[in-house]
Amino acid sequence: MRIGFVGTGTIASAVIEGIAADGHQITVSRRSATRSGALAARFDSVTVADNQQVIDNSDVVVLGLMADQAADILGGLTLRADQQVISLMAGASLEAVARLVAPARAVAVMIPFPAIAQGGSPILLRGDAGLVRELFGVRNTIFELGSDAELDAYMCAQAVLSPALRLVDDAADWAGARGADRAGAEAFLRLLVGSSLLGSETGPMLAALDTPGGYNQRLRNHMVNAGLTGDLRAGLDELAGDGS
């Protein structure tokens, strides 16, 4: 396919890396110049161009812009009715994107994560999944969402990643301070948590980690009693805009 990226920032670069060897002809916005230049230097399939040329050279246009800048930037550009558009922009609904890119067809809002560069990443999706599945579905797992409210809930809930990482990082620090090799402890904890989460649903795993008086039960109860779950829910409510 001929695929154009308007906005070559952090997440667009990861998305491009993920499909650069798949035989597509990819054109990317000159901005950000460092990123677009690095992609073109690394992949024969990637060419750098100005925004209008990116669009003119493409059948599929991917928007990697910040949502609050998209109207101004796209307002100065012309898309064609035969083009399909995928938006990576959080905070812009499919309907809003459709208005910005007419007469081109907004097929999907796709929220990728940085691991899409290597594959094995989840992708959140609103809209028609066909094109996104064709481009990214072999290496990644697509979660198709039925409403904007559902996408909003996922967007808030996915922020649990960073507190989860913080717990692992702090536990590795703690082990390091107790005489363990810090790097080894972190590698062990990443494998432990990652493989456990991939291997089982959370309910059965929590039950299996509930040995009375065991390490897991004692630490979990300590943290829940200290307010862990209440704090998490309050934080998620705040992200969703219904916190205090």
Ligand X SMILES: NC(=O)c1ccc[n+]([C@@H]2O[C@H](COP(=O)([O-])OP(=O)(O)OC[C@H]3O[C@@H](n4cnc5c(N)ncnc54)[C@H](OP(=O)(O)O)[C@@H]3O)[C@@H](O)[C@H]2O)c1
CA–CA distance, 126 with 94 (Å, rounded to integer): 7
Q: Which of 3, 4, 5, 12 binds ligand X (CB under 6 A)?
A: 12
Q: Does 10 bind ligand X (CB under 6 A)?
A: yes
Q: Does 29 bind ligand X (CB under 6 A)?
A: yes
Stretch that binds ligand X, among 8-16, 19-27, 204-212, 218-226 (CB under 6 A): 8-16
Q: Which of 7, 16, 49, 84 binds ligand X (CB under 6 A)?
A: 7
Of residues 68 and 210, the one with the C-beta less far from ligand X: 68
Q: Does 112 bind ligand X (CB under 6 A)?
A: yes
Q: Does 151 bind ligand X (CB under 6 A)?
A: no
Q: Which of 86, 89, 100, 132 binds ligand X (CB under 6 A)?
A: 89
CA–CA distance, 126 with 124 (Å, rounded to integer): 7
Least separation, in Å, of the C-beta of 161 and ligand X? 10
* Nearest CA-CA partner of 89 in 4, 1, 10: 10
Q: Does 69 bind ligand X (CB under 6 A)?
A: yes
Q: Does 117 bind ligand X (CB under 6 A)?
A: no
Q: Which of 1, 38, 73, 193 binds ligand X (CB under 6 A)?
A: 73
Count Cα neighbours of 45 within 13 Å in the Cβ-side half-sphere.
Answer: 16
User: Is residue 11 within a helix (H) or strand (E), and if so which, with residue range?
Assistant: helix 10-19
Least separation, in Å, of the C-beta of 32 and ligand X? 4
* Nearest CA-CA partner of 71 in 54, 96, 90: 96
Of residues 73 and 228, the one with the C-beta less far from ligand X: 73
Other Cβ atoms less than 10 A from the Cβ of 136: the count is 23
CA–CA distance, 42 with 22 (Å, rounded to integer): 14
- Backbone region of residue 7 per phi and psi (left: phi > 0; alpha: psi in -120 to 50; beta: other values): left
Instruction: Give phi and psi for 22, each to the nearest 5.
Output: -95, 10
> Where do we find the tokens 């695929």?
3
Q: Does 4 bind ligand X (CB under 6 A)?
A: no
In the bound state, the residue with its beta carbon closest to ligand X is: 9
Query: Total residues contacting ligand X (rule CB under 6 A)?
Result: 24
Q: Which of 61, 64, 93, 140 binds ligand X (CB under 6 A)?
A: 64
Output the DSSP codes for 28-60.
EES-SHHHHHHHHHH-TTEEEE-HHHHHHT-SE
Q: Does 62 bind ligand X (CB under 6 A)?
A: no
Binding site for ligand X (CB under 6 A): 6-12, 29, 31-32, 51, 64-67, 69, 73, 88-90, 111-114
